[in-house]
Amino acid sequence: MSPAVTSSKGLISEFLEWFGDLGIFFWQVVRAAVTPPFEFRELFRQLDEIGSKSLPLVALAGAATGVVLSLEARYSLTRFGAKSLLPAAIVFSVIHETGPIITGLVVSGRAGAGIGAELASMKVTEQIDAIEASAVNPYRLLAATRILACILMMPLLTLAGDACGLVMGWVAQALVEPLSLHQFINSGFKGASFNDFLPPTFKTAVFGLIIGLIACFQGMRTRGGAAGVGRAATSSVVLSSLFVILADVVLVKLILIFFP
């Protein structure tokens, strides 16, 4: 058997083993999360850490996205004589796809790296072992609270990013051609329904599950001292970003099927 075939089989085996370990880890977290006592204090701390401290970066990314979409859409729609559709194009682009995926990638970069590095550091310094020796379930205290915080905060951060994108899209439009915010909102949301906006916003809860789960998993299985902490932080960002993008593809298709 050639070395290339052996190497590819080894990679597939490692990939399947990683997925199996991730599934076992997820089951342990779920079982710990539904078993009292509940760690509400740590959950509230993580809500602040993941939500409040990610808000400025999400708002800035959303604002930049709104400006870019306004500039590009104006140029394209003007060429085809459809400039009147610009507010609707910005609103639907931001809320349907751009806002959720940008928020997911920003949070995976900031919160994913932070969770992975924090838990990896606790693992290599044996703090997680000490927590377990104190009769405290580390899956409940460390993993479940962070995963739940990611799930709860992602839709809220998405709404904040969408709002900043729409406001800055209007500003970019108004600087070129006078247009009130009231007119922009009325034109943009004309003919829209809740089915257009709720599913894309709440699909980010799945992004939060992916980010929190992978970051906690990579952090809590770290080996190798300081180098392991760096690898855990890097792999948390890379893998969570990759799976957020893949999940977005699947969720968009499901939304189009169930919310046509």
The predicted model gives 44-52 an average pLDDT of 91
Omega within 30 of 0 (cis) for the link into 178: no
Per-residue pLDDT tens digits for 193-207 = 777 788 889 999 999
Q: Where does residue 234 rank: exposed (0-12), middle (13-18), buried (19+ CB within 10 A)? A: middle
Q: What's the distance, Cα to Cα, between the start and end of the chain in Å?
A: 50
Q: 109-112: long-range contacts at Cβ-Cβ below 8 A with a sequence spacing of 24 or more?
A: 109/237, 109/241, 110/53, 110/54, 110/57, 111/49, 111/50, 111/54, 111/150, 111/211, 111/212, 111/215, 112/211, 112/214, 112/215, 112/236, 112/237, 112/240, 112/241
Q: If you average pLDDT over every residue of the chain, what do you get?
A: 87
pLDDT above 80: residue 84 = no
Largest pairwise CA distance in the chain: 70
pLDDT at 3: 59
Report which residue type is found at 48.
D
37 to each of 33, 40, 198, 250, how far by Cα in Å?
9, 9, 33, 36
Per-residue pLDDT tens digits for 139-194 = 998 899 999 999 999 999 999 999 999 999 999 888 888 878 888 888 888 877 77
Domain boundaries, the chain: 37-258
Per-residue pLDDT tens digits for 88-116 = 888 888 998 899 999 999 999 999 999 99
pLDDT at 251: 93
pLDDT at 76: 78
